[in-house]
Amino acid sequence: MNDFTFTGRERTTFIGMILVGIISLVATYFMGDPMELHGQHTRFWSNLLHNSVFFTGISFIALFMLSAFTTAYAGWHTVMKRIWEAFSLFLVVGFCLMGFFAIATWMGWHDLYHWNMDGVLDPNNKELYDEILVGKSAFLNKNWYLLGTIIILGIWVLFALKLRGLSVGEDTKGGKNQFETHYSIRWWSAIFMPIAAFSSAALIWQWVMSIDSHWYSTMFAWYATASWFVSMLAMTLMVLIYLKSRGYFEKVTPEHLHDIGKYLFAFSIFWTYLWFSQYMLIWYANVGEETIYFHTRVNEYPVLFYGNLVVNFVLPFLILMRNDTKRKYGTLIFVSVIVFLGHWWDFFSMIKPGVLHTAHEVHEHHGHGADHGHAHDKVSDAVHHGADHAHEAAHGAGDHAAEAGHHAAEFLTGFTIPGFLELGTMIGFLGLFLFFVFSRLNSASLEPVNDPFLEESIHHHT
């Protein structure tokens, strides 16, 4: 069956998931914050950022991989490429989600980013002035955050729409026109590749890494992109196997599933390589601005830190190491669910600890004035002198700084680990993603009948 039908049952299911997400977000906005942060809506905004970045990244990676395979003359994926095209079109929704978040950042509706706090760039503000952030202000500022998000995501959307339009248009063309269209697809794909490589790093730095605004890592963009990629592969397997169970994609064979499973296995190991390399190099160098990121997560969020490695490396490695497990539907679905949730957990661990730290700083500043200013100076000293001296410097920061550190180390659902509201929000975003993807699958033939590589893909053997 080449014409997909988006059934009423599926629509109802996805709309139900979206409603769960909406209810969870509303509950998070009004009831989600810890008592000491009541009124800042930190949990709401961080959940919105977490899921918007995660699902937008999955759609971006789908577009990137389509472009990469097309440019490399790869043909094995052609028979199932309409799934990735549908994924890539979710960038339209991602543009709206992240555009809204960028506007909220510009308007100061949330306190997720330390660099966006009033006073941190003002040398006359002795309480909050931060010399490190002044040095980064050419990039970390609300104007570039807004413009960069809109411009770069807008470019991604244009490429996604252009490549989808050419691919669907190819279905009605044959002969010479068929190859001319495919050359156009390859030309646009080749242009997108370098744009995607540079622009994705810039957005990852803005959206996620700048939450821990003093910290920096030259490997972070690679690390986050690998997490997106593995999540996209897991989503591909779940959607593809479900659609095959409904009678679609009959020409997708165990060979294709085996190839995706190999990618999932290989890039889970690659993600682990990046995880270890980033941690090991920062640990070995022992530079204060770098070590504070891992010092916080190892000591205050051990479940997040070590659980991340177990779920995203140990389990997929052990399950997918055998060759035959990459051909079995049940095993592939099981490991895909684990990996998908695991890398959603990974982005949670990237975002939440830094968000909570900044929220406590904002709370202390508004609640305690000059005492906070003194504490802020001492904490800045701790960052400069390294994690080994952090506790010593903090001792003189006053009772309020100690209280803030105590709060950060407490178990807080929604920050220390995901809670029901976080899971509900993720379910809502997943429902939105699937609703959009299935509606796009419904709008074109599932088989790209005039793609020059289709026959190669149909007769593909590993």
pLDDT in tens, 264-296: 999 999 999 999 999 999 999 998 888 999 999
Total structural domains within the chain: 1
Does 301 reside within a domain?
Answer: yes
**Which residue carries 């506007």 as its tokens?**
103
- What single-letter amino acid sits at 122? D
Taking the whole predicted model, whether its pTM rises above 0.85 is answered as yes
pLDDT in the model for residue 376: 40
Angle at 91 between CA 89 and CA 96, to 5 degrees: 130
Structure tokens, 74: 């790869």
Structure tokens, 392: 């010593």
pLDDT in the model for residue 462: 59
Please list the ranges in the chain whose pLDDT falls under 50: 368-408
Does 2 reside within a domain?
Answer: no
pLDDT in the model for residue 371: 41
> How many angstroms separate the CA atoms of 427 and 21, rounded?
6
pLDDT in the model for residue 179: 82
Separation of CA 80 from chain center: 24
Does 284 reside within a domain?
Answer: yes
Picking from 94, 97, 121, the residue whose alpha carbon sits closest to that of residue 45 is 97
| pLDDT tens, position by position, 182-233 | 899 999 999 999 999 999 999 999 999 999 999 989 999 999 999 999 999 9
| pLDDT tens, position by position, 369-408 | 434 333 344 334 444 444 344 344 334 333 443 444 444 4
- Which residue range forms the structural domain that includes residue 182? 8-458
Does 1 reside within a domain?
Answer: no
> How many angstroms separate the CA atoms of 375 and 65, rounded?
47
Does 3 reside within a domain?
Answer: no
Does 120 reside within a domain?
Answer: yes
Does 391 reside within a domain?
Answer: yes
> How many angstroms separate the CA atoms of 56 and 204, rounded?
11
DSSP 8-state symbol, 211: G
Does 187 reside within a domain?
Answer: yes
pLDDT in the model for residue 176: 64
**Which residue carries 């770098």 as its tokens?**
290
